[in-house]
Structure 1
């Protein structure tokens, strides 16, 4: 019931025509506001709590967080390094789950060949590092092309390919892998669609929108 109280505050659920229970308290609203506005902190705290509960039950996190056992040389950087690793791993898991581990441009469905791509870069927006609406599931190739601005996704969810790529029409692989998706709409995820404001910022950053 507590979860359904919180779900009544979720705009994504409301946009789908659903609603939770109407008994959300002032504390529920405060908790929702605190964590919904800071996905990075939420991921770190939830990972810490999950680890505590797993330890109490004699479980390990090797399957979920395989890279936490790496050695660290300096105590001061250990917590920060762990938090980054946890959050990157959690972000990847949430984006792949949201998109069914399928590239939203090509439809490629192989979790070893797709990445969780940030729309707003990890380094530029601390509050939205873990926000699933700041992520796209892209093939390794399209992730790289998106990251360096050779492709973007417009606020209407259509792919735009840079004119730089269109200058090489003789490249058959380029046509098949990238150019043919120009103006095609992406495959939308099950729950958290990419935020049009974030997509607009990416498109402006690389000159697709003036």
Structure 2
């Protein structure tokens, strides 16, 4: 039965979780994920999609980029947004608990049944790492879904990499200016301090990488040394965060 009453807290937590996952352009009633969860929480796909766009109107990343979302955000929406910012770990735990109620049950395997190798579709529950997923969504959009070093454009192979680590300072966890869109390989190198960026946003290689002689090292790193990264003027990486990375993470300075 579809609800016409005020949104419950659980329904709003589902909506916030979906908002952290879905790109702005996919928040519409024909999206299969929205349809699936709308049915589970007793709302229409249109109502859930509208709620996501209302939540977008509270997101500074959206409003600072010139978009507004809808203007019907409720006081309950605003309170949840404040809760997420004030205590992201507690908020995420609550979202995880609510989303777990809607995960499809794990089928019980009968050892006597023959192995089934046929391909079957399955519903995959939405992951509920609210903060990290919202950060990823913001950073990939800021970099037009491309690795800022190589230009690789497949989101499956891209990471929203924190410049100042997630645990270093909670104030910057969701700030897109504390992020770089990198390929899996370059994210690993950046995280381990094998690469960094100078004040001109040019790639700097560690001595360790410069000593490598393989074709792979040349193609993935050496040929990009000194190349300025692609970046959004509006959400360009913060020099303060890059300076932190150079001083505290880049291995040549340790």
TM-score where L is the length of structure 2: 0.52
Of 177, 197, 215, the residue aligned with 1:172 is 215
Deviation at 1:70, TM superposition (A): 3.7
Deviation at 1:160, TM superposition (A): 0.3
- Mind listing any 5+ residue stretches in structure 1 that lack a counterpart? 1-6, 19-34, 49-64, 72-83
Deviation at 1:42, TM superposition (A): 7.1
Matches of 2:252 and 2:211, distance apart in 1: 16
Of 151, 163, 168, the residue aligned with 1:119 is 163
Is the Cα contact below 8 Å between 1:98 and 1:190 reproduced in 2?
no
Q: Does 1:69 align with 2:77?
A: no
Matches of 1:147 and 1:177, distance apart in 2: 16
Deviation at 1:162, TM superposition (A): 0.6
Q: Does 1:199 align with 2:236?
A: no
TM-score where L is the length of structure 1: 0.62
Deviation at 1:85, TM superposition (A): 1.2
Of 198, 207, 226, the residue aligned with 1:183 is 226
Matches of 2:242 and 2:179, distance apart in 1: 10
Matches of 1:154 and 1:43, distance apart in 2: 33
Larger Rg: 2
Deviation at 1:167, TM superposition (A): 1.0
Matches of 1:70 and 1:148, distance apart in 2: 33
Once the two structures are superposed, residues 125-148 of structure 1 have per-residue CA deviations (whole angstroms, 9 ceiling, x without a partner) of 110000110000000000000000
> Structure 1: which 4+ aligned runs deviate by more than 4 Å?
65-68, 207-210
Matches of 1:133 and 1:164, distance apart in 2: 28
Name the residue aligned to 2:7: none
Name the residue aligned to 1:143: 187
Deviation at 1:115, TM superposition (A): 0.4
- Mind listing any 5+ residue stretches in structure 2 that lack a counterpart? 1-59, 67-80, 102-127
Superposed CA RMSD in Å reads: 3.9
Compare relative contact order (CA 8 Å, sep 6+) and give the higher one, 1 or 2: 1
Q: Does 1:154 align with 2:190?
A: no
Matches of 1:96 and 1:110, distance apart in 2: 11
